[in-house]
Amino acid sequence: MALYQHDVTGRPLTEVVPRDASLFTKELVEGVEVEQGDIDALIERYSEGWTLERIAPVERNILRVALHEMLHRTDVPEEVAIDEAIEAAKELCSAEAPRFVNGILGAVQREQSHTT
């Protein structure tokens, strides 16, 4: 939620991350912030016909977290990151969102498996 609030309101992450957030949550938020330029470029590359600004803020931030986990967190298996993102999209977004999220994350996963 902190990334969404930051994205929508422009408030600094230090203001929107709860003080009692887990270390894992804080690491995710910080990691997404550091890698956001690269992550957003991936989202735009694979979201055919959609600019980053056209993607709903909740979906955009679900994708950011999942891509950060997939690309920079060795403690989170890619499949887990993808499954969690799809479940979050089912719960929080429109009916089309899970398929959209899965498509982008699957494309990135396929690309990464070819480059490693």
Largest Cα separation within the chain, whole Å, is 40
> Is 17 among the domain residues?
no
Cβ–Cβ < 8 Å for 64, 89: no
> Is 18 among the domain residues?
no
pLDDT, residue 75, reads 94
**Structure tokens belonging to residue 7:** 């994205």
> Is 7 among the domain residues?
no
> Is 76 among the domain residues?
yes
* CATH code of residue 106: 1.10.940.10
> Is 106 among the domain residues?
yes
> Is 1 among the domain residues?
no
116 residues of the chain, pLDDT tens digit each: 789 989 899 999 989 999 999 999 999 999 999 999 999 999 999 998 889 999 999 999 999 999 999 999 999 999 999 999 999 999 999 999 999 999 999 999 998 877 65
**Structure tokens belonging to residue 20:** 């009692």
pLDDT, residue 116, reads 56
> Is 54 among the domain residues?
yes
Split into its structural domains, the chain has a count of 1
pLDDT, residue 48, reads 85
pLDDT, residue 1, reads 78
Q: What Cα–Cα distance (Å) separates residue 26 from each residue in 2, 41, 44, 75, 109?
A: 10, 23, 25, 15, 24
Domain that holds residue 71: 23-115
